Structure formats: structure tokens, C-alpha cells
Amino acid sequence: MQITSIKATRAAKENNAVDQATAPVKKPAKPSLISIILKGLWKENPGLCQLLGMCPLLAVTTSAASALGLGIATLLVITLSSLIVSLLRAFILREVRIPIYVLLIATIVTVVCFEVEAYFPQLYQQLGIYLALIVTNCIIMGRAEAFAGRHGPLASTVDAIACGIGFTVVLFILGSVREILGSGTFFVGATDLLGPWAQSLEIRLLDNSHTYLIAILPPGGFFVLALLIALKNALDNRARRRADRRLSIPALHV
């Protein structure tokens, strides 16, 4: 009886293994465009959640204009690179994908550097080497490897635009706060980026006697970024608590 039961157990296991092997593999559900946008802008913001691109995030955000300029350049590079990687993903060998990604990103960054140097020379001087260092930005390589190489052109482009805008917004807020606290001005240099019409946006908010030099120094960048991350975490925790209250069942008092 024991031998018969052992044989029956083995047969059942073999049948289960065969059924699992022959069962159709379920493909993972494709993310919706709304969820992709929300992740890039808020839930998985590269600057506040993933903490990628820290070098330009802290080095170039001493003013709002330079931060916005670098953010726009990064947005262009990440969008073009993700779109091209998504279009060519079927032709890129997996073993050599990283060198190809780097070569592609470097080519796009070189073109962007030439355009900025030709049409925005003042901004080019402000950004300096950090404009060329977009090649090494982990955000661009991360989106190409984690998303664009596995999804279609539309989803990859939307993901790149969302992440780029999210990163640009963080750069602009960080640069604005540091410029106001450290220099007492706001958006100085906007004419170099947006043209003569933006001269009215360059304003002085604080007198020099009420500014704090540490705000435009590297430690000030870390402090302001830490405050932004803390604010985001507080808002997320508040929204989570509200969702838990709505889902909770009120206790019945008998």
C-alpha cells in the first residue's frame, strides 16, 4: 500500500510539472499612459525618489535660470534617446546594449551642446561642463535600460517626457529656493534662456543683508533637497492615511 501511494504521489507531481510546462505563459500587463505619467512626475520622481542625477541637481541649481536650462536640455536628451532605443530595441543585441546606449546618448548630447553654444552662449557658459556631463546622467541610462528597451515607442516617449519634466521641476524649484535665499533674486538670467521678453521675470526679492550665502553653496543644496524630499514623503503619508480611513470599516458599538 505504501509503494502504491508513493507511486501515485510521484505521478501526480509529474502531471503537475507537465501541466505547468505546457500552460501558456501570461504576459505582464502593459502599464497605462496615466500610470506612466504619474510615476515619472510624482511616485517615482528621479530627483526626489530615485535620487538620480545628483551631481547636476546640486551643482547647477544655484539659480533658477541655469536649473531650468539644464532641465530642458536633459528633457530633450532623455526623450530622444528613449524614443530611438525603443525603435531599435529589436535590432540591438543584449550583450552590447550598454555601449550602444552610451554611444547614442553621447551623440544626442553633443548635438544639444552645439545648439546651446550657438544660440544660448550665456547659458552655455553658466552650465559649463555639466551640460556635457548629461551623458553620464543615470536618469537617461536608467530609462533606456529599464523602460525604453522593453516597451513600444509611445510608452517610452511618454515615460521619458514624464521623467524629464519631473526632474526639470525639481531642478527649477531647487534653483529658485537657493537663488532667493542665497542671492535675494529670482530668475536672473532668464533673458539668456527665454529671450528679451523674459526681462520682466528677473526680480529682486530680498536685500543683500537678508541673504544666506550657504544657500548657494553645496551644503545649502543638500539642505534644500532634503526639505523637498521630506515634504514629498509627508504628502505621500498623508494621502496614504486618508486612503486607509476611507477603506476602513467603522466599528459597531452595541
pLDDT tens readout for residues 131-151: 888 888 888 998 999 999 999
Residue 175 confidence (pLDDT)? 94
Amino acid at residue number 95: E
Instruction: Find the mean pLDDT for residues 191-211.
Output: 88
CB 114 within 8 A of CB 177: no
Backbone dihedral region for residue 195 (phi beyond 0: left; psi -120 to 50: alpha; all else: beta):
left
**How much is the average pLDDT of 44-67?**
87
CA distance 184 to 178: 9
Confidence band of 164 (pLDDT split at 50, 70, 90): very high
**pLDDT higher than threshold 70 for residue 209:** yes
User: Helices in the chain by DSSP H: which ranges?
Assistant: 2-22, 33-38, 54-59, 64-88, 97-119, 121-127, 129-132, 138-143, 153-183, 190-194, 218-247
Cβ neighbours around 182 below 10 Å, total: 20
User: What nine digits make up the cell of 204?
Assistant: 529682486
203 forms bridges with which residues in the sheet?
186
User: Taking the model in full, what pTM does it have?
Assistant: 0.84
Closest CA to 220 of 178, 171, 172: 178
Instruction: Evaluate if residue 157 carries a pLDDT over 90.
Output: yes
- Report the C-alpha gap between 88 and 153 in whole angstroms: 10
